[in-house]
Each structure stands twice: as structure tokens, then as C-alpha cells.
Chain A
Amino acid sequence: MMRGITKRIGSIRFSCVSPDEIRRMSATKIITADTYDDEGYPIEMGLMDPHMGVIEPGLRCKTCGCKVDECPGHFGHIDLAMPVIHVGFIKDIKLMLESTCRSCGRIMLTAEQIESRRDDMSEMRDLGGGTIDLKNFSKETAKDASNKGVCPYCGTEQIKIKLDKPTTFREVDDNHKLTPKEVRERLERIPDEDLKTLGMDPATCRPEWMVLTALAVPPVTVRPSITLDSGDRSEDDLTHKLVDVLRINQRLRENRDAGAPQLIVEDLWELLQYHVTTYFDNQTSGIPPARHRSGRPLKTLAQRLKGKEGRFRSNLSGKRVNFSARTVISPDPTLSINEVGVPYIAARELTVPVHVNEHNIEKLRAIVARGPTPSMENGYVPGVNYVIRADGRRIRVTERNAEEVSGNIDLDYTIERQLMDGDVVLFNRQPSLHRMSMMAHRVKMMDGKTFRFNLCDCPPYNADFDGDEMNLHVLQSDEARAEARILMQVQENILSPRYGGPIIGAIHDHITGAYFLTHENPRFGRAEAMNIISKLKGIEVPKPLTDKNGKEYWTGKQLFSIVLPEDFRTTFKANICQNCDLCIKEDCRFDAYVKIRGGQLLCGTIDVKGIGNSKGKILDRIARDYGSDRAARFINEVTKLALGALMNHGFSTGIGDEDIPDEAALQIANNNQECINKVTELVESYQNGTLDQMPGRSLRETLEVRVMTVLGQARDEAGRIAGKHLGLMNPAVIMAKAGARGSMLNLSQMAGCVGQQAVRGERLSRGYWNRTLPHFHKGDLGAHARGFCSNSYKSGLNPTEFFFHAMGGREGLVDTAVRTSRSGYMQRRLVSALEDLKLTSDGTVRNTVGTVIQFKYGEDGVDPSRTVRGKAIDLDDLFAEVLGDDADILLRIDDRDVGEDYGTREKDEMEYTEEEDSEEYDDIESDFEGGGE
């Protein structure tokens, strides 16, 4: 059995085809512009000649005798009555005409110059100069040789040549038009040696080949015609174009042979040139594109290749695949982070090839015998869709033939078994912006019609469940499965290579749950405690404590410690930390100083900073020091524990949570009014000219800045008042403080005051003449007239405020739309530029040519995903390990930073705009082509 890659293409050389070669490789000469005869059979020597391959099932190719799909197709050719220029080479032809003598064809440089140019070129090649450098150099050579008055070899006076776009050359002095024939003659005269000087390889491309005398006709398989329902044939664009070429070619030949007037011949010749030009590239500048009868521009050769929908980007760099599925996603907290729930209906279609050997033959026979749709009585069992015999024949397994096929199974057969629990699959969500957008999961068969996965996997995919769809790919070879499991499995990607921290971790409710479990160390009785930890498997329940009444209880911190590794130690400040001036550590009033020793949580509250994605310190350390298996277990257990705790406690939030007492509302209103009055004063002083101008700013700018500060304070103050009255037991506050969801800014906007709306970072100013809305006086610069919302979301915005809010919101929407395309294009460029770099075994970073980009990766050779917030090693860890627990005292470290953030820091509050993750770039990544083509 042959498996894997047995042959490798070493290299590909590009070259031009000579007219001779076109004729030699041609299966048939094409002379008639007609395609099919009355019976619907292709005409011999027509564009659909069966010598060029077949597209209809049943017919055989007249050249190789193969049927559809077996015959690769064969080229034909058209002999052009008069030569025409190939548009793609027009610039090169011009350079060559200019740099060589019009009579002797020699390049117009002296022997020494040629010598030195050639030396330079070979030196460039030796030094590893790329084609592009050589191209620029030979262009330079050609420029130097051109514009000489007299040929240094034969002494002929030269005439300047002008290019009339797209394809006409003229001699400047008498405006004589150079016919393609003359061009070809001149190109023919250039000796091979001189071509080398110009950077061309005469063996692969002679310049006269750029003036076509024969046109290769692509095989019919390249331009298949489609039969419509009505029975009409619809030809491919290329065929249409070739028909045009043939017609004109025919007329040109007839006219020429009949001795028609020069003018007519020339006109036809030009028309032929036009058709051949558009056949190659229908977007040539300077000529109107050839159109289909319906008015749609034809898609000719160049259009087939270039751009996002072109052959290169859509068929060669990216390919469509089998064994894949796509459906809506939904959450399931009971799954492990490594699993994905696959609906039965999808699993029946997705198969894994299993090679039959003597060890598994009996088992496989039994599976095949079940057929493609086994009964679901005992739950899901995989069936078989196809059996591939040792000779490569595929047999479709049906209910009816299952038994028979099963009996025939022999060694070296391959059966295509349906998906089952534990299979390795790739799971992906677009846009695939980083490598964590495609990870390997283990299949878990499930009822329903959606893919399901653990909520902790949302951040790397950037997924939510508002209708997102995701793709799943089933791996087909053992190598692929092994690689996927070792490199791509979710647990191997917990640490993000972007920053040295976890990207997978507890989110939302998990954090709230952990907060309730550990904050202020609640006590749980036996029933409660067992309820909380009941979902954990294979754990050792810690010994209960007893209170003064002799009743058994467990503390929350005790329960949390169950999931920690035994020798775990760390110290950090939790998210709820108030950043007091003097940290009193263990005695923190807010229980924000987290200390874990010997796998026991001694003090502190577990929140985002402990287990959260991108910030979780505990998670970070476990993933780095205890390996991915332990980290995956930790995440699974901690989420189950946290949800247990949350369900035990009960948790909900609603509009009532933003209720504030009347006195607070009054305070906020008063404060707002005060600030608004202040603004009015500022505006007055501006109008009186008594406002102090700030250095480097105009008076008006000064006013705006001052007003913005005052109104910013107004909102902050409102938020502070509201926050004070909401209290620490408010669910919304708990979520914000623990870092589960939302921020205090969100809360202050809901309960306190929405604040100033801004467009482009400035107060609203556009709309009507000198005012934003007709509700205000012209020239009103006050707070309300320029977009200040003094109401809260809860109390409700008034009509003008609502409108201003919409204006600010619209900016955010436009921003996201523009941003996705711009950043997508940047990413494409970055990837294209950097894709070839790799870390070689000598520690240098090189591209595939071997150029050293870095002598040591990142100056220290450290993998960013294994760093500690970008540092190569964790000093705290080092000291703790070498010096033991006394490290702090020994080194007299008092206030080294314990708990700096990574991932995303809180955005500047003023800049905050609500951004619901928009879906506009979900499926189709918009095209980022920045012009050019």
C-alpha cells in the first residue's frame, strides 16, 4: 500500500512558447469559427473539435481516446494571417526596441559596457539577488542603451519610438506606424548574446515570440460549454473571444489574398490585434473591454487568474474540501474544553477511513454489517458509508448490501466509518485571524442539530451564540490526526502566542460563581457542599471543619482548593482590589489579596485575575508549569465547581438592580445641573472674550476642552453617586467588580447619567445651520445643545438626547465596518510577507531562501506563549523555588508588582463606545485589495 507523498515536485520553470512549439503541440488547427453542426456535434477544425478533449459524457477524445475526466485536454492552434503583438509584453517590447539598433539589432552599448553589465549581473546572481532585483537592473541596462543617437556598431541613425497605448508603436520623426510585422523583424535581429545582457534567456523566450504568429487555443475542458434547460448551448467567454479572433482572422486572410486596399487590410489587422489583446486581458487600459451580448464584460485569460476570485487566490491557494460540515453553534457547559458536540445527522455523513488489518478485521466487519443507518436503540453507533477495495474501487454500502459487503471485506480494504465519540476533528470559525481560530476537538455525539462546545472556547474563536455558524473538518489520515492532537488540540492552545497569557479560561458566570464560592469565605453545610462539588469526578473531598456548635462545614476556599494542583503556590491581587495606598496584604478588608500555598487557597477572592481568560494568574501558571493536560482538567473542574457554587447561591440581574434611591437621583440631578451651569458660564466667558486661552490652542478649542472636562466630571460624579447607592451586594456591581461582565462605566450610564456624546472625539456640532437640532437656538454652545445626555438609560433619554446618542452610536458602526476591511488587508499583507519565516535549528530566523532575518529569535529565542507577560522567566518563581517561602523577606521585596494585567487593558473610559460584536464580516471576508490590479 502506498501512502503519503511519494513524489515531490522539485521546481517549476516558466517559459514562453514559440510559434513552432504551439504548432507542434497542437492537436488540431482551428480554421472555422463555427462550433457545432446542425445535429449538435462539434465541427472538425472548429473551436469544439473533439481532438482538443471532451466535455460530454460518453464521447471519446480523438487524440488520446479517453473519456471525460480522464482526458486532460489538448491544445489546438490558430494560424494568424498577420502577426499581432502580445499585450502582456508590450513594455518589454518597447524597451527592447529602444535599446537595440533599428538596423543591426545589436544592443547599443559598447563592448566594455556590456561586459561590465554582464559581470554585475552574474555577481548579483551569486549574491542571491532575486528576480525582481535582476529585473530592475536589466531595465536600467535597457534604459542606458536607449536614446542613443547612433548605433555604435553599424552607425545607423536611430529614431525614437513612441508607444501609443495599448499596442501601437510609432516612430517619432515621421509618425510612421510600426506594424507588428516590422516589430517582429526588428526583434528577430537581436542576437542571443545581447538578450542575455537584457536579462532574458534566449533558450526560454526569444523576443520575436512576443509577437504572435500562431495563437494557442486552450482545450475545451478549460472552456466548457453549458447546456441550458431549454436545450440551448451557452459557450464560455473564452470560446466567444476565440470565435471573434477566428472571424477576423479569416476576413483578414481573404482580403489580404484578394489584394484588397492597404487601408482595409490595416483596419482588419488592427481589429485582429484588438481581439487578441482582449483575449489575453479584457481590462487593458486604453481600449474598451469586449462585451457579451448582454453587456457584461467578458472574463478572459487575465481575469481568470487575478484577484480574489481568480484562479490563484480562490482555487490554488485555497481549495474546497470534502469531509466537512457547517451548522449553527450553541453552548454546552458540561462538555470538556477539548470536546465538540456533533449532531447525529452530521455524523452520518462524515466519515473516517479505517484501514483493514488482521487485528481489526472482525470488528470492522461487524460495523460494516450495520450498514449506513444503524438503529439508534442502544444510542448512536457508527455505520459505514463506503468500502474501498484493495484495487481502489469504491463500493457504496446500503441497507440492502451491507451484509454482503461485510462478508467480502478483506485485508488492505479501507472502510469509511461514520464519526464516533473520540474522533479528532478540526473546528473553525471565520474570520480565521489567528491560529486559535482552528483547533482540534474530540467528537462527542449528541442529539440536536447544532455543534456544541464549552463556553471557555468562545474567546479564541471569538464566537457567541447569536446565530454564529462554525465549520468542522474530519481528518483523513493518521499523520494528520497525530499532528492535530499534539499541536492543535484546544488544550495545547490555552496560552496565546500573542502575549504570554491564557486565552482560554473562565468567562462570565464562571467568574461570578468562583467569586461567590471564595469571597469572604462562606461556609457550606454538608448538603450544600456536596451539591456544589457533585459534578467533579475523582476528587478527594477535604476534611470538614466543625463550628462551635459541633456542626460540620466546609469553607468556600477549602472547596476551591480541591481543584488546585497539590503543590501550587502563588500570590497576586484580585480584580476586586481597590488599589489602596498601602497594601496590607493578608489582612485586606476586601479579601482581595490572593495567596495560595501548597495547593490551598489561604486568603483572597478568586475572580477574573485568578481564573479568567487572558488575565487568570492561576490558570496561566498551571498551563505553563503543569502541562496542558493538567490545565485542561483545571479549567473543566473550575468551571463545574464555579457553576455549582453559582447555582447553589442563585444569581440574577434585572432592571431593578439599577434602581437608586430618590435622594441619590436628586443628588445626581443637582450635580448635573451644577455642571451644566458651569458650562453655561464657560460659554458666556467665551462670548465675552474673558476666557483664558490655553497655549497652543484657539479660544474655541480652549472652550471645547474645558467643557469636555466639566461634563466628563459630571458623568463620573453621577456614576460615583450611583455606585455608592448601588452597594457591593448588587448583582450588576458584583459582575463588574469581579470582572465577569460589564464595567462600572456601563453601570453609571445605566443608573447615573449617560454623559456627553461624541463624534470624532468632539462634542456634536453638525446638523442644521449653526445648531445641531432645530430644538435649540442658533449658536447655542451649551451642554444640552451639543450632545450632553443628563438622563440615564434607566430614567430614559429625552428625544434630543436619544438622537444625539444615535449619532454617537452610528459613528461606532461606521468605524467597525471600515476597520474590518482595513485590518483584514493589513493582515493579508503581513501574512504574505512573513509566512516563509521559520526558526531554523541553529536558532536563527530565516526565510525559505536562507536569508537570515534574525540571528536569535526575539533576541532571546524564547517562545512568546511560554513567557510570563513577555519576560523569559518568572523571577518570583525562580526566587521562590531557590530560596523557599522566605524569598520575600530575604530579598526585602515589599511592593513589587503582584498582579499586572495582560491581554486587553480597560479602554480609556472616554473612548468607550458600545460595540455589539458585529456580524458583518462573519462569512465572507470582504476583499481588501488596495487598488493596484
Chain B
Amino acid sequence: MAKKDTLKALVSRDISEEVAGLLLTKYSTLSMVSAASAEDLVDLGLTEEEAESTLRKIGKRTTRTVPGTPKTKIAAPEPKTESIEEVFHKRNLSPAEIKLKEIADKQGSALPMKIITDIANGIERADLSDDIYTRLVATADRMYTSHLMDKNESTGVMAAHSIGEPGTQMNMRTFHYAGVANINVTQGLPRLIEIVDARRVPSTPSMEIPLTGIAAEDESVARHVASEIEVTSLLDIASVETDITNMRLVIVPNARKMVQRGLTEGDVVERLNKVKAVRGLVKSADLQIIITSDEPSYKKLQVMYDAVKTAKIKGIDGIARAVLNKSGGSWKIITEGSNLKEVLKVEGVNANKVMTNSILEVADVLGIEAARNSIIREAMMTLGEAGLDVDIRHIMLVADLMTNDGQVKAIGRHGVSGKKSSVLARAAFEITAAHLLHAAMVGELDSLEGVTENIIVGQPVTLGTGAVNLIYTPKKGERSNE
């Protein structure tokens, strides 16, 4: 019982179940674990790094100084002294922009900066008088004001229609990624549904990783970076044989493939020695790697074989494939699978420009605003790919709604719709009975502010023309004229 609780507690502290299981072989409570030293844990069979991070997560400061720079784990809630450095990319305004902006401010017009920039770009090459500048701003302001959205417009329904209607014209197929890289990316309607569903993992996660420095120019360097990213399992570089007579595994590395992936035999041995099932049993012997079983059991041998076969030798978890692609004169990597957090750390990667199509991952690593932009980008790309034109404002609204409370919420009963304030609206959407019963239990009050509720009770809705009232007071004496 107690152990089970401890296990739960450990897992909740972001310690993998594997490690937690190991810890529990010796310790039964959390306090016992935290009382232990890192060395104790290493004895248990953890690597030093694991031991350190475990203790850190549990809340004990390790007294040992770690050689080199300690990696700050993002997930670690405990002491994180690094201050966050704010980075501003402030664009310098061109003289024309400054001038236009000044005039606009003076005129008291609320022209968005985008329009000012556009005008400035347009007149860049011309030499115009001040008078013309003033007239440009005034005219632009007049046009802009006349294009504003009417008040009380039901922008939401407009957006929903604008995104939903073209859905019927999209196709259901996934096709290949544009360009040479043969990586499947979900497109069309399934992808759009996936975006509004806010799935944790997209059906075809993929990243686009532009390279920087020499990696961007030199193919072999780029290839090296790709090999750092792509997961290399043992079978990719070597063949594994089971030697039953000697109760051992014989691994024969393929020299050419090893070079291709930038690996040496030493690396492989080191990596394999960290694999749990064969820890400490891996030995290198002229061009071969031998793993001798420490107990004479076929079962153990089988376990070892399975563990070794799929062992990750190199690369980043989750990235099954990395393909090089040259565009615009510089190399970039396109991957199957996504792991933004780790990829950002890889040297040679242009971390400012890395893209992933996994929205939730963006939210986790870069924050909610980034996730919002990611939703907009992905949705616009999906619609654009299908040849459909949808105004970006509609998608912005959906993205803003999905990210409104700091978390990415799905459009649907587990997200936005399921969290509506009105009982009737929720009941009319899905899971009718449960919502009504719960409302009765807690004595919920439906204040009839939304659309569905008012339709249900038969009243005008509070949007559009229903949002305003006209009151006409007849003047005295007017009535008698009738």
C-alpha cells in the first residue's frame, strides 16, 4: 500500500516509472528516498545523471559538484536560479513610417501599424511632399474606418461558418510533403479537425529544422546534424546474433553505416551499457561487441536481445526520420516525429526558426502565445494547401478562443463547448442528461445570456440586432393624432 503511494508520489514528481520502480526496491517512503545520497542511488543501478535529477526532483540538494555545466531540466520544479532574459526584436521604423505615424497620431486616427508600413513600403521610392503625406493618411484613415466591423456583429458564428463551410470542399487524403522529402504529412480535412481538436500528438508529427552556420551551407555538416537528430537504433548500424552455446549476444557493426551516422564502436558500447537489461555486461572485442549474459537462462538472453535490438544509440526521442532538404540556398532538415524541446538544444540548428506541427508541444515549450500562432499557421497552411482562401481573422478568432485561458483547449465537448457557462447550451450540445442532472444537484443558475439558451426559451438572442433595443417615446399630443 505504502509503496504504491510512494510510486504515485514519485511519478507525480516527474520521475519515470522505471526509475521509481528501482527506487522502491530499497526505499518505501518518499522521505527515505530523499534521505539517501546520490551514491546510494547509483548503487541501486541508476546512472549518476539519473540519480542526481531524481534527487533534485524529490527536493534534495545534492552536495556533490557536478563536473561540467549542469543541464537545467525544464521540468524540474526545484531551484532554478537562472533569470529569464527577455528578448525584444524591435524593428527599426523607416523614416517614412515614422512620418506617417506622426501624422496619424496628430490626426487622431487609429490606423493600424500594418497599414502604415504598407503605405510606407509603397511610397518608399518616391519623393513626396508633406501635403501628400497628410492626404495619404487622411484617405487611408477614411478607408480604414469604413471597413471596420459593425458593432454587435456575431463574429464567432461568422468565423465558424467561414472555416466549416470550406471543410466540405476539402479532401480526406494525406499526401506527401511538398518537395523531394518523402515524408507524409496529414493534410486536408483530417488535419483541420486535428487542429481544432487540439490533439496532444498529431497523427503525423513533423518538424522543419533550418540549419545555421556552416551546417546550413555544407552538406556533410548538415548530414551530421541530421544524424544527431534522427534516432539510430542498434539494428540500423549493426546486426545482432544470439550465440546460444556461449550464452551471449554478438553484435557485428556495419562499418559503413557506423561512419555514416558518425558513431564509433566505443560510443555504441557506452550506450549499450546504459541499457537496463544489459547494464555492465557489454564488452568490445575486435570489431565485434559481445554481451555475455550474467545468468545462464534463455529467458534472460531473450530479454537482453529484445532490449538491445531496439536500443537507441543516438538521436532524439520521437524523431523517426530526418531528411535533408535544400531550399533557398541553405540546408534544412525535415523530420518525421517531433520533439521540439530537444531539437532546440542541438548544435547547428537555427533555434529561432525551428517549426513543428505539434501544437501542444509548442505550447509546452514556448508558451501559449506561441501555441496561438502555431494554430493560426497550421490552419492557414492546411486551408491554403487545399486551395481554399479563408480570411486570417477567422482563424485568429478560433485560435484566440482555444488559447484564451492559458491552456490549449479543444473545440468540442472536452474543451470550449463543454465549459460554457449555460446549462442549456451544454445540454443542447452533447451529453444532455449528465449536464441537466448536475445542474439540478448544485442548483445551477442559467442566466440566459448566450444564443442557444435564448433560442430554447424562445427569446431574441443577445447578438446582432438582438443586442440593441429601440425605445420610442411619443411626444405629448402625438398620441391623440391617431
Contacts and interface: CB of A to CB of B under 8 A. Distances in A.
A17 to B, nearest CB: 9
B184 to A, nearest CB: 10
A819 interface: yes
Contact of A837 (B156, B390, B417, B418): B156
Interface stretch (A57-65, A197-205, A286-294, A594-602): A197-205
B439 A853 contact: no
Given A866-B146, A905-B389, 4 more contacts: A302-B433, A833-B401, A863-B149, A904-B389
B57 interface: no
Interface string A90-101: 001000000000
A898 interface: no
Contact of A849 (B136, B180, B449, B457): B449
A795 interface: no
Nearest to B178: A908
Contacts of B447: 10-11
A694 B164 contact: no
Contacts of B388: 904
Given A761-B176, A853-B397, A13 B445 contact: yes
Interface in A300-324: 302, 305-307, 310, 312-313, 316-317
28 contacts: A12-B423, A88-B434, A130-B421, A131-B421, A135-B438, A205-B441, A205-B442, A312-B427, A313-B428, A498-B390, A694-B182, A697-B182, A827-B161, A830-B163, A831-B161, A835-B157, A836-B450, A839-B153, A845-B156, A848-B450, A862-B144, A863-B148, A864-B393, A873-B147, A890-B126, A891-B126, A903-B389, A904-B388
B208 to A, nearest CB: 15
A497 B150 CA distance: 13
Given A881-B139, A891-B125, A841 B152 contact: yes
A911 B169 CA distance: 13
Interface string A824-840: 10110111111111111
B143 A873 contact: yes
Given A14-B446, A831-B161, A862 B154 contact: no
A400 interface: no
Interface string B390-404: 111110111011001
B432 A823 contact: no
B192 interface: yes
A255 B275 CA distance: 69
A836 B158 CA distance: 11
Nearest to B122: A875
Interface stretch (B15-23, B113-121, B302-310, B344-352): B113-121
A839 B149 contact: yes
Given A205-B440, A826-B192, A829-B196, A498 B182 contact: no
Contacts of A836: 156, 420, 425, 449-451, 463
B141 to A, nearest CB: 9
B165 A827 contact: yes
Interface residues on A, range: 35 or more
Contacts of B465: 483, 487
A612 B402 CA distance: 36
Given A201-B443, A873-B144, A88 B437 contact: yes
Contacts of A848: 421, 449-451, 462
Nearest to A838: B463
Nearest to A697: B182
Nearest to B143: A873
A374 interface: no
B160 interface: yes
Interface stretch (B64-72, B85-93, B237-245, B407-415): B407-415
Interface of B: 112, 114-115, 118-119, 122-123, 125-126, 128, 132, 135-136, 139-140, 143-144, 146-173, 175-176, 180-183, 189-190, 192-193, 196, 321, 323-324, 387-394, 396-398, 400-401, 404, 411-413, 415-421, 423-425, 427-434, 436-452, 455-457, 459-460, 462-465, 467
Contact of B150 (A435, A863, A903): A863
B148 A835 contact: no
A496 B72 CA distance: 52
A14 B433 contact: no
Interface of A: 5, 8-16, 88-89, 92, 130-135, 199-201, 203-205, 210, 281, 302, 305-307, 310, 312-313, 316-317, 431, 433-435, 483, 487, 497-501, 694-697, 701, 705, 760-761, 815, 818-820, 822-824, 826-827, 829-841, 845, 847-849, 851, 853-854, 857-864, 866-867, 870-875, 877-879, 881-883, 890-893, 902-908, 911, 929, 932-933
Would you list the 6 A-B pairs with minimal beta carbon distance, nearest first?
Answer: A837-B156, A858-B393, A827-B164, A204-B443, A834-B156, A823-B167
Nearest to A820: B168
B154 A837 contact: yes
Contacts of B444: 13-14, 131
B136 A882 contact: yes
B427 to A, nearest CB: 6
B151 A839 contact: yes
A501 B423 CA distance: 39
Contacts of A874: 143
Contacts of A903: 389
Contact of B417 (A134, A833, A911): A833
Nearest to B430: A932
A872 B401 contact: no
A854 B429 contact: no
A834 B126 contact: no
A674 B400 CA distance: 55
Contacts, number: 375
A171 to B, nearest CB: 18
Contacts of A701: 182
A845 B181 CA distance: 42
Contacts of A904: 169, 387-389
A854 B428 CA distance: 26
B441 A16 contact: yes
Contacts of B321: 696
Given A866-B146, A878-B143, A906-B387, A835 B451 contact: yes
Given A815-B173, A829-B411, A860 B114 contact: yes
A199 B443 CA distance: 10
B50 to A, nearest CB: 31
Contacts of B119: 875, 878
B126 A830 contact: no
B428 A316 contact: yes
Contacts of A845: 155-156, 397, 400
A913 to B, nearest CB: 8
A892 B127 CA distance: 11
Given A11-B448, A14-B446, A904-B387, A695 B324 contact: yes
A15 B425 CA distance: 17
Contacts of A89: 437, 441
Contacts of B433: 88, 281, 302, 305-306
Contacts of A9: 448, 457, 459
Contacts of A906: 387
Contact of A433 (B164, B417, B455): B164
Given A302-B433, A878-B139, A830 B196 contact: yes
Contacts of A434: 161-162, 164-165
A829 B442 CA distance: 26
B452 A317 contact: yes
Contact of B153 (A11, A135, A863, A879): A863
B65 to A, nearest CB: 40
B429 to A, nearest CB: 5
A199 B442 CA distance: 7
B128 to A, nearest CB: 8
B160 A833 contact: yes
A467 B161 CA distance: 26
A256 to B, nearest CB: 30
A829 B172 CA distance: 19
A317 to B, nearest CB: 5
B331 to A, nearest CB: 13
